[in-house]
Structure 1
Amino acid sequence: MPHCRELKLGDVWRTCNKIRAAIFRMGINLFEYFAPLDPHKNCLISESQFISVINGQLRATIGLSEQEVAELADYFRVPDGRIYYTQLCEVIHDSVPEFTDNAPLVTGLEWEDPMHSNRLSISEERRLNVLITKIASLVNMRKLILRPYFQDYELVSKNTGTVTIAHFARILAHLNILLSADDFSLLVKKYLKDSYTLNYIAFLAAIDKVVNYLNEHNILDLSGDIMSIFPGRILNAELPKLPRPEIGKISGAKLFGKQNIFHPALNDPKKMEHLLTIMSLIQDHVSRNRLRVCEFFKDFDVLNCGRITVSQFNRGLDALALSGKQRFFLAIPDVEAVVNQYRDPCDPTRVCWKTFEDDVNHVFTTHELEKAPSLVVDPPPKEVRDLPKLGGKNWQTVNPSMRALCEEAVDKVKQKIIHRRILLKPVFRDFDKHNNGHVSRNQMRQALHSNGILLSDEELFALEERFNNDMGFNYFWFLKDVEPKPEEEPLFRGFVKVTRKLNEEPMKKLKNRKERDIIQIMAKLKGKVVRERIRVIDFLKDFDRCNEQVISRTDFKRGLSVCGFDLTENEIDTLCEVFAPPLRQSCVDYHRFSNALEEAFTQIGLERAPLLVPIQHVPTRDCEKNFLDFDERLVVSVALQKLAKKPDLQMNLFEVLQDFDKTNCGTVSQMNFLKALTLRGMDTLISRNEFDVICKCFGFERGMRDEVDYRAFMKALDIIYATEKYNPF
């Protein structure tokens, strides 16, 4: 029939399992319920009788639904419509075990076995075997007898082969058998009994068994320790589950950047400090000479496993120390300290050179910097920057009397330099042929004696103790302490002046008026064109695709920005208005603008006047800072007339100013300008006010400070001297 549900074997089997679980739990026999309904013993009953037993008498016990009962009846129905109940009973009862017919397997005597121990997993059993082997080798090497230590406790407590966990731990600690927390927990888990005692008899039996095995197979050497026949292949209880050399190299102490290259195995502060010094020296050597550490070790590592032998590591470290402009010396104890630190924990005969490379490269950057994009790296680290030079002494640990004598000598040299206005740097530089900032001891004494600075032998020795290293006498540090420092005004004073100028309304109006003045704008552009030799039409003609001789204002602004003129918006608008065609105000006649700028070099239509000689535009460096009013111009004229009484051939002032101009840019600082006038005795001719006005007149802003254009100053003096010389009046 189409409305009948298809019978599935899985559903019937699930129903049988449900019945089987119920009768196994309640102890019910189905034959006792179906046998009274079958008086003829032909193993068949009607369907109504079957349903009445399942849903009537056994409903509360089994709890089958009507659908499950119908599926069960359909499955065990015979062709005449009756139910084969004995087959159902056999399916249910034949799979139920009869525990009453079996003999007992556990009698309780197993717990009383003196050699009883608990079961562990496979991995734990393997760890326990390694641990027992290690303890057995220690016991055999020290010739220890463990049983009396445990029997003493048993005589007091009257136990039978057991001790408490605390006493077991005290015995191991007394015998100097040091175990970690995980190893001790593993022993407790294996030999625990009665929840608070340990079966020490089974523990001692396991150790004796291992000792006998080691002796029988000749695995122990003469000292009683396990022989390393195959280095790196013998199990060690001190190793982790998976040997990883990089574990322990990262700790909370951020010594070199983000990571620490030293694992906590070094507990000796002296060894730690020694290793820190060695690694800092290596990092400083690599940083100064820009060396790549991997280039000295990778040829030894053919398989690229990151590990090489100790001899290969020593050879690579020697090559690293000998590379660069300055050789680096490592003593044998220093090399051994580095080798012991980076030794492979799995194979003591090898060294992890890649870990050494990563730690040394911290002087350049931090490893895996891409994972921390907001981290700011300032290489080299502070420890490397503050590292003292080789051969130098730690000045804080020197004898206090020597330090006091050195301070007195430095102060004496400083006072003589200030009073006599001596320049020591040119003298030291003459001796320093390689320009490395160091001279010899004799050269240092010659430089001081040649300038009339006389010191005693004790004072000279104190200076050498402070400023000497393996390269010689560091005169850079010496001059930094003895040369007079320029007096600098507080920064807030200049800031206040600038703020007041910006807030003044007349200055704003003057600035806006200058931005609208086409003459000043063209003078600014011509000066830029002459100084940098720019051809403006080459930057603007590309925007004129149809060759209309005009371009839009937007393209005109783009072209000027490419030229680098640094014009303001008001200045650009002024240029657009001036050079706009009469019929196309939205465009700019760039040809007329280019011709106007080209007048700085030549003149348009010069072929029509062959006798005309054009004059090139001379750019000026004047700005608002060196603008002088009437009174200041009078002061400058009087001061220049005083300074121009003698020609430069007699005073030789220009050569002194050139010595201060190291970059040959034509300007010097105001302090150096004053020094030059002082050396030639010209500072007494003018007052301080006149000197300030001269610095303002010939001032030039370079970088973030104001300097003096000494070339223009010398030209002015020459012109004034020549004028007065040929003046007939």
Structure 2
Amino acid sequence: MAAAAVASNVEDSVRTIAQTKRIRVSEFFQDYDKLRSGFVTVPQFFRCLWQTLSLKLSDDEERALSMKYGLLDNGKINYKRFCDTIEQHFNPYQLNAPPEIQEKIPMEYLGTVRSTRPLSVGSEARLVELLRRMQQYYKVRGINLRTQYEDFDRHHRGVVSESQFYRNFPGPLDVDEEDMKTLVEKYNDPKSPGLINYLNLHHDILAVHNYVKKEREPANWSRERSVDMTPLFPSADPTLSEILDKVRVAVFKNGIRTIEFFKDHDKLRSGVITENQFVCGLALACGKEAQLARPEIQKVVEYYRLPDGRVQYKEFCDAMENAFNIPDLEKKPTESVQRPPRGTLTRGLKPLTEGEEQRLMEVLNTIADKVVKDRIMMYQYFKDFDRSKAYTRVVTPPQFARILHFLGLNVNNEDLKLILNKFQDPSSGDVNYPAFVQAVDREFVGHTMDDVDISDPNRTNVVPQAVGETKWVESPPVKFEELMARIRHIVLASRLRVIEYFQDFDPLRSGSISIPQFRRGLASMGLSKLGQHDLNDNQFDMLVEQYRNPKKPDQVLWTNFLADIESVFTQEGLEQAPTANVPRQELFRVPKPGTTDWNNASNDHVDLYNETMKHIGQRVDHRRILMKPAFQDFDKHNNGHITRTQFRQCFKILEIPIEEPQMHALEALYCNDVGVNYMQFLQDLEPVEPIPFMYIKRMEEIRQANSKQALPEQRPNSDLESVYLKIKTKVCKERIRIYEFMKDYDKLRSGRMLKTSFRRALNLARLDLLESEVAMLEDKYQSGREVDFVEYLRFCQDIESIFTKDHLEKNPLEDVEQFKPDEEWAVTVLTGQEEEQLMKCMLRIAEKVYKHRMQLFPLFEDYDRVHNGAVSQSQFRRVLMELELAKLAADTDIELLWKKYQVQVGGRTDINYIAFCEKIYELAGFEHRKP
């Protein structure tokens, strides 16, 4: 018995760990059992427990498990039976006892152990009341106690320290210090003093939640009575047909699948259920939507009741769901569907008393005046609060009141209740905002029942035709010229090669094919009912008579037809008549079939059209409306045409009121057999100026810009040595390899290149050479064999000699002197008299600097923003004035200073103040840069 108890404890521990880690123990033993025999050796069994579950067993525990699951003959352990004990919650082979009794419940989740420390009676009652309050508080605010402490529980053991428990306790706010002490005392972990088992507290709160939920259930609760019967509005005694019509409309409007509310009660799918089940299902399905009272439901029950007391719900559901539809309509394509009666599916407004109606009109008129005065657009703000993607056209009463307040349409509470009472839906309680907007906004164009042309509802066998839609009728006969123009337009627009559709029928190239073959070729071109043009029999006979073969009346000369059609591209024999005038291809374009000839329209019709376009244009300009997106949403094929119904619907969406005569005037101009050409309508409504052809003008401007004379050169070098010095200084400072810029122009590596390429390479190297300087280089290195070429390789060698000499490997003892460019200011040469005058001025400045120990650099550096060591002439004079040194130098002396220390920075002449300061310090006898 002792070994069995030890084995049971081990099984409980393994079961808890397996549930904690969410693993299946059997999957890890199968790696050692290749033959799936259900047995492994003893070392393999305990090794798997150690590696998988981190469970190290003692000798007594290993011995107990070996005795329970081991076999004496082969020395192996039956791991299969061990895994079944761990993973199965009950024994499936023990059929006498119910599974609830056999269920083996593991320890607390994550292996925690509930505290067994008893509390006093008062503390236990206090704890129960506290848990009830916490459960209600957490339920209302959606708080999960376990997630509040998971961040502190890094190892997921279900415990936190006492300070962490206090710190992150989520409430409620009325929990005092005594309550917290009670929780700490109750949920102290017995194995780890100082730690609080928050997981047990979480489980207790869940248990309290389930207990409270069961408490609130009525004692006689049953599955058949699990429907919350919504209190219905009392109504008069209607007839059965009125009740069924009301249910039928509610099912159709709300898209209710009534059978879903009954079939769960009919397990055998017999089509009948009990009366009580039918009442509950009907009330739950559409009791609120159809405003059904209990007497009305009872009348429906009496109608569908069988002699045995059950109700035929299947017959009821079929009658309701197929109210305005026919079952299996895909198998009956010629059947006509009955429409709902006019006004049945609209949201009606509730009637009020005469006094309330009068007061409501006063409130609506006041709001309407403010809407007109402030030019408020209301519908868009209500639409933003519409909670459905398909726009239910209703908002909740709080949203309705919030929108009115946001728009500045403040009304008192009594008037607001009156508005809500008028425009609320009695079934859902939502507010019908389009009806309200239409009542207070005179410019709002909403969809009403008067806008729809519905046929007589008594005529159930007639399908009403949509407004403005054209029927498919055979095209009337046309003239031969018009037919050929239409065919030429199709060939030109689609870029068809007509010969490819007929030459396969004429293998002998006789130019004649049979009449059926001619029709097949025309159909392949798109001249059929499925193509771009419906070529009827009259039109085809006209083509046959025109191109009939006189020698063979049953054939057609298709080559003549080919020549007449392909004349839209070019004319034959142009090589013999080069001066012939070929007509433009735009002449062969014709409007789409069904387009009205506007030239024959009456003056009244044209005036009405112009007035309509002016009215629409003013509306678009006033409200800044973007017209094109609304029309493009209906143009799925991007062919620039929509139907007439969609054309009218676009004006409704854009809130542009159009009267019926005005709409007919627009449709007369823009309608054709394809639909309404909305692109042409938008182009006429908002014409866009064509982009002018600016190529000739731009070319003339470029010519004029290139014809301007070059600007005179500034400070050019007059001798070749100065040019060399300029190039070498640039190359040395910026470490440029001129050869890299020039070798790409010498593909054969001949050492020569064109003068134009030489100029281009020098420009790419950014040597900043002037025209005269480049000319001197070209004269110097001009090739002796060809005048237009330059010996660039010799030029590169002369320039790159500043770094090293060629063939040093042959002269290892030769000394190489590297080129060091002089400072730019040091190159400036003054006359002897100017040098003497400048030196006297600088000595005077140096004497004062030495006497007062002046710092010259800081003031100059304040003006040197980019730290290039130079300042402008005005800045140089200003620093001397701030240092009170300008008194020691006359204007001629300052000009000599400018001339001596001038440098070129970005094409501008600046002063090198660093050289000036260092010279002053040197004359003053200071240590280098230490005044």
Q: Smaller-chain TM-score range? A: 0.3 to 0.5
Q: Flag the structure with more relative contact order, 1 or 2, with Cα contacts below 8 A and sequence separation at least 6.
A: 1
TM-score relative to the length of structure 2 = 0.27
TM-score relative to the length of structure 1 = 0.34
